[in-house]
C-alpha cells in the first residue's frame, strides 16, 4: 500500500477524522481495488515527515497533497469580511507575492517523495504560470493544471521522477 501525505492544515485532517471521511476513502479504495488502502498522514509543512517515515518504517511518500496559503499579502485587506476577519492570517498569507509556500514545497518535497511521486497543490486563480515555473525549475516534470468546475485553474499536478 502507498503512503499519502498531506501538508495542508491540521484542522482539515481533524475534520476528516471527525466526519469519518478518511475511513470512507480507505474503504472505497479497498473495495474498488481489492488491495489495502493507502495510509494518510498530516504535517504542518514538512516538520514531522521524517519522524513519521521513521516511525512507520517507510522510505517516502507516493503523493503529497497541499492547500498552502496562497493569497498575496496586499490582497488580504480586500477580502470579504467573513474570510479576512475570521480566518487566521497565517492560513491566508502566501507572503508578498503569494508564492512563498510553493517555493518551500518545491525545495523540500523531493526529500520525502518516492520516485516516481506526485504532488497536488491548490493554487490561486491567477497563479498557474508562476507555480508551474517554480516546479519545472525545481526539476519536477509533467507539470499540469487541473481546472475546477467553473474552468478556473485550481490544482497544480507535478511528477517527481
- Between CA 93 and CA 72 the distance in angstroms is 6
What pLDDT is stored for residue 9 in this prediction? 41
- Between CA 29 and CA 38 the distance in angstroms is 8
What pLDDT is stored for residue 8 in this prediction? 42
**Entry pTM:** 0.78
Mean pLDDT, residues 132-146 taken together: 97
What does the buried/exposed string (b/e) look like for 19-32 if buried means 16 or more CB atoms within 10 Å of the residue's CB?
eeebeeebeebeee
pLDDT over 70 at 107, yes or no: yes
Mean pLDDT, residues 23-46 taken together: 64
If phi over 0 gives left and psi between -120 and 50 gives alpha, with beta otherwise, what is residue 151?
left
How are strands ordered across the β-sheet holding 141-147? 39-42, 3-6, 61-66, 113-122, 153-160, 141-147
Q: How far is CA 35 from the centre of its chain?
A: 25
Question: Which three three-digit cell numbers place residue 70?
Answer: 496562497
- Between CA 28 and CA 38 the distance in angstroms is 11
**Higher pLDDT residue, 68 or 27?**
68
Mean pLDDT of all residues belonging to the chain: 83
Asked whether the beta carbons of 135 and 64 are under 8 A apart, the reply is: no
Q: Which residue has the cell 520525502?
A: 112
- Between CA 60 and CA 53 the distance in angstroms is 7
What pLDDT is stored for residue 30 in this prediction? 53
Q: How confident is the model at residue 73 (pLDDT cuts 50, 70, 90)?
A: very high
Amino acid at each position: 500500500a502507498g503512503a499519502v501525505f498531506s501538508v495542508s492544515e491540521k484542522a482539515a485532517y481533524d475534520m476528516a477524522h471527525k466526519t469519518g471521511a478518511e475511513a470512507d476513502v480507505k474503504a472505497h479504495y479497498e473495495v474498488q481495488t481489492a488491495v489495502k488502502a493507502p495510509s494518510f498522514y498530516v504535517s504542518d509543512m514538512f516538520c514531522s515527515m521524517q519522524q513519521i517515515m521513521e516511525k512507520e518504517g517507510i522510505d517516502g511518500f507516493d503523493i503529497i497533497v497541499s492547500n498552502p496559503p496562497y493569497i498575496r499579502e496586499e490582497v488580504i485587506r480586500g477580502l470579504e469580511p467573513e474570510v479576512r476577519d475570521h480566518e487566521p492570517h497565517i492560513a491566508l498569507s502566501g507572503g508578498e507575492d503569494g508564492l512563498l509556500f510553493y517555493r518551500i514545497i518545491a525545495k523540500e518535497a523531493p526529500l520525502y517523495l518516492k520516485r516516481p511521486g506526485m504532488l497536488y497543490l491548490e493554487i490561486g486563480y491567477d497563479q498557474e504560470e508562476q507555480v508551474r515555473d517554480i516546479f519545472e525549475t525545481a526539476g519536477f516534470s509533467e507539470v499540469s493544471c487541473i481546472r475546477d468546475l467553473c474552468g478556473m485553474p485550481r490544482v497544480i499536478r507535478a511528477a517527481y521522477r
